[in-house]
Amino acid sequence: MDTLFIGKNRIELQSVDSTNNHAKKLLVNERPVEGTIILAHEQHSGRGQMGNVWKAEPGKNLTLSVILYPDFLDADKQFFLNMALSLAVKDFCESVLAAEIEIKWPNDIYHHDNKLGGILIENTISGTRISSSVVGIGINVNQKTFDPSIPNPVSLFQISNLEYKMETLVDLLCTFIEKYYLQLRQLHFNFLDKGYTVALYRYQQTHEFKKGKQLFRGEINGVAKDGKLIIHSNGKELRFAFKEVDFVI
């Protein structure tokens, strides 16, 4: 595999509650080498952002976590880690599909109006820096049907009508993660910000959004340095933290 450190050390599990939970338990007792990945054939309690559930058919999808030590990164710049990982997964999916993929703020991976994957980043802060990060990545790969309760899912198979070898996909994903993580290490914030902004789902398009029970129309114009989504609506600039605004799809 053509990487320096991402994915060189692998822990493969048949079944686990959550690869992020397993990674965090490892960090309590030891310091795995940076770039260690935990792979699971089945997650029976997979998690998404803010307590959301991630449901995936066993053996059909990529469910993994990566352990990183971005201690070069100030805590107030942690959204740049989100940008780097989101761009890595986006580029990975585009390379597999040869199709345009977008990032639905803050870190869902979308093909048109359907969710292909998602990322859950859990950081540990020490002082003013990030001491460790557990990056959970879920990508729908060979799954052909989904639970009706899951909103607008899609898989690589459903898009391309091709089945994929998981090991090959993991190797490829690791190369993209390392590429963008090294950009982050070099503090290339403008590069990451620009790439992330133009990759945003519905960027500079007028659409409906929902704040609580209130519907409004607006246009996404970027993301603030603290990770808040910037929407222009009726001549005003509005900023929203995660879960403060919903996309109407």
- 192 with 210, same domain? no
Residues forming beta bridges with residue 26, ordered by sequence position:
none
Question: The domain containing residue 112 runs over which residues?
Answer: 10-198
Chain segment 173-197, per-residue pLDDT in tens: 999 999 999 999 999 999 999 999 9
- 179 with 123, same domain? yes
Q: Do the domain assignments include residue 128? A: yes
DSSP state, 135? E
- 37 with 156, same domain? yes
Residues forming beta bridges with residue 118, ordered by sequence position:
108, 138
User: What pLDDT is recorded for position 55?
Assistant: 66
Distance CA 109, CA 105 (A): 9
- 182 with 212, same domain? no
- 91 with 26, same domain? yes
- 128 with 218, same domain? no
The model's confidence at residue 50, banded by pLDDT at 50, 70 and 90, is very low
What CA–CA distances, in Å, run from 7 to 38, 46, 93, 165, 187? 9, 21, 18, 16, 22
Chain segment 88-105, per-residue pLDDT in tens: 999 999 999 999 999 999
Q: How many CB atoms lie within 10 A of CB 53?
A: 10
Q: Is 6 helix (H, G, I), strand (E, B) or coil?
A: coil
Say which CATH number the domain at 217 has. Answer: 2.30.30
Q: How many CB atoms lie within 10 A of CB 160?
A: 13
Length of the chain: 249
**Average confidence score pLDDT of the chain:** 94
- 96 with 189, same domain? yes
Report the domain count for the chain.
2
User: What pLDDT is recorded for position 44?
Assistant: 79
Say which CATH number the domain at 72 has. Answer: 3.30.930.10
The model's confidence at residue 45, banded by pLDDT at 50, 70 and 90, is low
Percent of the chain exceeding pLDDT 70 equals: 96
Q: Do the domain assignments include residue 138? A: yes
